[in-house]
Amino acid sequence: MTKVSGLLLIDKPEGWTSHDVVAKTRNLASTRRVGHAGTLDPMATGLLVLGLNSATKLLTFLVGESKTYLTTIRLGASTITDDRESEFLELASPEALATVGRDSIIQAMAALSGEIMQVPSSVSAIKINGERAYAKVRGGDEVKLAARPVTVSRFEMLGEPREVAAAGNRFIDFDAIIDCSSGTYIRALARDLGRALGVGGHLTALRRTRVGAYQITAATELSKLDPNSLPVLSSTDAARAQFACRELSASEVTDLRHGKRLIVGRIDFGERSDAIAGFGPDGELVAMLETSGKQLKSLVVFVEEAE
Catalytic positions: 41
Distance CA 73, CA 115 (A): 21
CB 47 within 8 Å of CB 9: yes
CB 18 within 8 Å of CB 183: no
**Contacts (Cβ under 8 Å, ≥6 apart) of 166:** none
**Which backbone phi and psi does 11 adopt, to 5 degrees?**
-95, 95
CB 26 within 8 Å of CB 34: yes
Identify the bridge partners of residue 201 per DSSP, sorted by sequence position. 75
Distance CA 128, CA 140 (A): 14
CB 190 within 8 Å of CB 28: no
Task: Compute the chain's Rg from CA coordinates.
Answer: 22
